[in-house]
Amino acid sequence: MAGALTGQDGADRRQRRECRVPHQGGTTKEGIHLGVMAGTLDVVQRYYAGTHIRDGVLYFDPRLPSGLGGLSFPMRFRETPIVVTLSGSRLTLTVHPEAVSHPIRAGVPDDVRELRQGDQAVFELSRGAVDNGPAAAD
């Protein structure tokens, strides 16, 4: 049930189950903080930026809240450091110029590109990329 709600398949859940973090002797407060921060990153990457991986391609389908003018964050995909920037109706992906990285394929559903060390790709987004929230009552 949870997999259906989050869009995860069985392999995704198995991979997460097999990833173990050793106990470091932290406090409950630190553990709660870590969980909240991980949840925040999950919202930013999977919902606001709309990231998902399919057939080895990193896809973006952003849904920024109307009150959020833009967003930028670093991430890694297949050992390749990327800076993701969402601004207005544009998605910009920048691969670090000095990184030891592998070519990756990334983009939006109708426009996927191969990116290499030092590349920058700009994607024009559809008007639906901004979530205006619930419709106003008449």
Q: Which residues pair with 90 in a beta bridge?
A: 87, 124
- Average the pLDDT over 2-25 and give the result: 52
Within 10 angstroms of residue 63's Cβ, the number of other Cβ atoms is 13
Q: Please tell me the distance from the alpha carbon of residue 79 to that of residue 95, in angstroms, as a whole number.
A: 11
Q: Mind listing the pLDDT tens digit for each residue in 95-135?
A: 988 877 789 999 999 999 999 999 999 999 875 554 544 44
| Structural Rg of the chain based on CA atoms | 17
In this structure, the strands spanning 90-95 and 120-124 are antiparallel
Q: For 14-64, what is each residue's pLDDT tens digit?
A: 444 455 556 566 777 777 777 767 666 666 676 678 889 999 999 999 888
Are the beta carbons of 96 and 117 closer than 8 angstroms?
yes
What pTM does this model have?
0.65
CATH topology for 2-131 is Maltose phosphorylase, domain 3 (2.60.420)
3-state secondary structure 42-102: HHHHHHHCCCEEECCEEECCCCEECCCCEEEEEEEECCEEEEEEEECCEEEEEECCCCCCC
